[in-house]
Amino acid sequence: MVSPDLLKCRPRLEGNIFSMNRALAERLRQKRSGLPIRDAAMQVAHVKGLPPVPKVRGGPPSLVWFHHLQELMLKPDVDIELPGTLIVPAKKGWKGSAVLYIDDRGRWTELHTSGMLAQMTGFINEKTNGPAVLTVDVRGWGDTTPAYVPYEIAGWGDRHRWMSYVSAAMGDHVLAMRIRDGLSALAWLRSRGEVDAGKIVVGGRGMGGVVALHVAAIDGKVAGVFSADGLASFELLATSPHYAWSHEDFLPDVLRHYDLPELTAGLNMPTLLVNPRGADGRSLDDKAAKSLYRPAAKRGEAFQLHSKVQGSRARGLQIDFVRRLAG
């Protein structure tokens, strides 16, 4: 039998899983794969090609003030349905720009009580000319958030941890699925006859902003992309001993190819970042944000970065960005 001394295991005290992971993340910063950003993002999100237009079911549009509002169910994959809300100006023969918006708090968060999206589209303005808005709950967010289970009573029994671990173990992480959901929603929005396909802006809030940045990088044809309150860097998650983000917000293998500042630097369309956040969930200060996103700043006026802005100022930056691109 094994001796009692060997059973004591005697783990090495100079390192642990966290310290090894941190060291790996720091090494990978110096040795990326070298793949072009679009190709790398496609590989990380398991995208083999731009998705076809998904099937959609929904009721007839309702006239609400000066817009048609329609609740939808998009089907990007077998046995997967995503709730979506579409808002289009009710003007006869209207055709114009559109926004695809992804919010990790749920699609209605920036719609109700004159939220940012309602202001952006001019919801109660009779003379509005758009843009149209499609906001979608990608899998696991909003109306598709998993139900609570009894094991969550334990401190370690978070359903989001379970979803992250199991999807990673299956080789297709839930965040990669969300990126593909965003691409499917974009394909459907682009197919709409009343939407000018050349004037679609993609945006998001929180990790929805990270999804939006990946959708823009992979698609390459959107008019612009914006993100508010999103994760600033995957490396910050990997190297911080404490973090405020969900287990679902780690993206396997991403640092082998790029981090979010490099992804943003590689985009070919106008980009707006508002309040990028560190591992602790707080908005980075201006100096830290500018240092982190120095590669993207080389894009000049095509890249805008704003830190520590709140309330109406933060909303106004996003609304102005969209309206300037929407025409």
Tens of pLDDT, residues 85-100 = 999 999 999 999 999 9
For the cut 70, the answer to whether the pLDDT of residue 170 exceeds it is: yes
What tokens does 317 get?
Answer: 């930056």
Number of C-alpha atoms within 13 angstroms, CB side, residue 17?
0
**Type of residue at 176:** A
pLDDT of residue 151: 85
**Which CA distances in Å does 180 have to 48, 159, 214, 225?**
10, 22, 9, 16
Distance in angstroms (rounded) separating the CA atoms of residues 258 and 15: 26
Q: Is residue 8 over pLDDT 80?
A: no
Compute the mean pLDDT over every residue in the chain, rounded to the nearest whole number: 95
Give backbone dihedrals phi and psi of 296, rounded to 5 degrees, phi first: -70, -30
Write out pLDDT tens, residues 272-308: 999 999 999 999 999 999 999 999 999 999 999 999 9
The residue type of 42 is M
Is the pLDDT at 12 greater than 80, yes or no? no
- Using one digit for the tens of pLDDT, what is the confidence trace for 230-280? 999 999 999 999 999 999 999 999 999 999 999 999 999 999 999 999 999
Domain 37-326: top CATH class: alpha beta
Q: Which residues pair with 277 in a beta bridge?
A: 231, 283
Q: pLDDT band at 1, cuts 50/70/90? A: low
Average pLDDT over every residue of 38-45: 98
Work out the burial of residue 192: count CB atoms within 10 Å of its CB; fewer than 13 is exposed, 13-18 middle, 19 or more buried.
middle
**Ramachandran assignment for 206, one of left (phi > 0), alpha (psi -120 to 50 degrees), beta (any other):** left
